[in-house]
């Protein structure tokens, strides 16, 4: 399982939470306190390989598209530059033809 895969991080957190809640329901009939639930979720999450306690960081669940957008921006600039050079060469040959 890849830690960079955003869906796996979120799904592992949800699985850990479900496991902790089902384990709490099986152990006793009275509801657990919030602190006990958080502790059970943290223990299950640590056992399943999630390094943080609680929810995974937002950057892991929703990675930034900045790198992808930057790459496309430079590609578009390159295409525009090549198009400009080709257009000027064509225009120059049409008007001052060789």
List pLDDT tens digits, range 4-17.
Answer: 555 677 777 777 77
- d(Cα 38, Cα 1) in Å, to the nearest integer? 25
- d(Cα 10, Cα 40) in Å, to the nearest integer? 17
| Cβ neighbours of residue 61 closer than 8 Å, sequence gap 6 or more | 6, 9, 10
Cβ proximity of 20 and 44 under 8 Å: yes
pTM for the full predicted model = 0.41
pLDDT band at 31 (very low <50, low <70, confident <90, very high): low
Name the token pair of 27: 């152990």
- Most confident by average pLDDT, 9-23, 41-55, 82-96: 82-96
- End-to-end, the C-alpha distance of the chain in Å comes to 63
Which pLDDT does position 60 carry in this prediction? 74
| Of residues 86 and 62, more confidently modeled | 86
């Amino acid at each position: 399982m890849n830690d960079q895969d955003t869906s796996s991080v979120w799904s592992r957190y949800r699985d850990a939470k479900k496991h902790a809640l089902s384990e709490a329901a099986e152990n006793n009939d009275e509801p657990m306190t919030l602190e006990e639930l958080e502790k059970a979720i943290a223990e299950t999450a640590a056992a399943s390989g999630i390094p943080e306690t609680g929810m995974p960081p937002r950057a892991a669940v929703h990675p930034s598209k900045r790198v992808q957008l930057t790459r496309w921006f430079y590609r578009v600039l390159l295409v525009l530059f090549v198009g400009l050079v080709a257009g000027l060469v064509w225009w120059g040959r049409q008007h001052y033809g060789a």
